[in-house]
Amino acid sequence: MSKLNIQPEMSIEELGQKVSGYLKDHWEEVLANTIEELQKLFPEYEDATYGMYLDKLLPPAWKELEKAGFQSAEKIKEDDFIIAGCLNFRNSIEKAKWGTPDHEKRIFWIVIENRNKQLIGTFLFELSHSHVNFNLPSAPKLMTFTSTERNEITKKILSLNENS
């Protein structure tokens, strides 16, 4: 993987641009390398199969963020389900009205803190997926949001998807 060139003083927007670039450059390659295996696993594991894909896609970028001192501000609880080392299933929303069974959306959020434990903003990570078979109808997408308050984050996510 190419270095993302992440600096400790970067803003949430700058970090988002770096991670978005990584996703754009790597999502299809990771998918191509894993699709046959994941399609075979889907009938048994269903939605969890997308977590297996994300376990291959996201860790290189997340490790780069961590090396520069960034991390999730939220403390992990014992019963949390963490995907790809950074996505907490508890911090995600999926609604049927956002799509169809063939093109569903789940949006995760990660409140990001820097090495000085300052909250700098939130990553919103959108994964389009199918509940019918293993398929990513569109590229994973990362957006940034300056708020770090849970209520504001969930309102923002719901507003993003009101009309889709």
pLDDT at 1: 44
Separation CA 115–CA 75 (nearest Å): 15
Q: Where are the domains of the chain?
A: 12-160
pLDDT exceeds 90 at position 140? yes
Structure tokens at 141: 């997408």
- Going by pLDDT thresholds of 50, 70 and 90, the confidence category of residue 101 is confident
User: Which pTM value belongs to this model?
Assistant: 0.94
Please give the Cα distance from 107 to 128 (Å, whole number): 9
pLDDT in tens, 6-53: 999 999 999 999 999 999 999 999 999 999 999 999 999 999 999 999
Q: Are 127 and 50 in contact (CB under 8 A)?
A: yes
Would you call 2 exposed, middle or buried from its count of C-beta atoms within 10 A (0-12, 13-18, 19+)?
exposed
Q: pLDDT by residue (tens digit) across 64-76?
A: 999 999 999 999 9
Q: pLDDT at residue 78 above 80? A: yes
Classify residue 97 by burial, with Cβ atoms within 10 Å: 0-12, 13-18, 19+.
exposed
The percentage of residues in the chain with a pLDDT greater than 90, rounded to a whole number, is 88
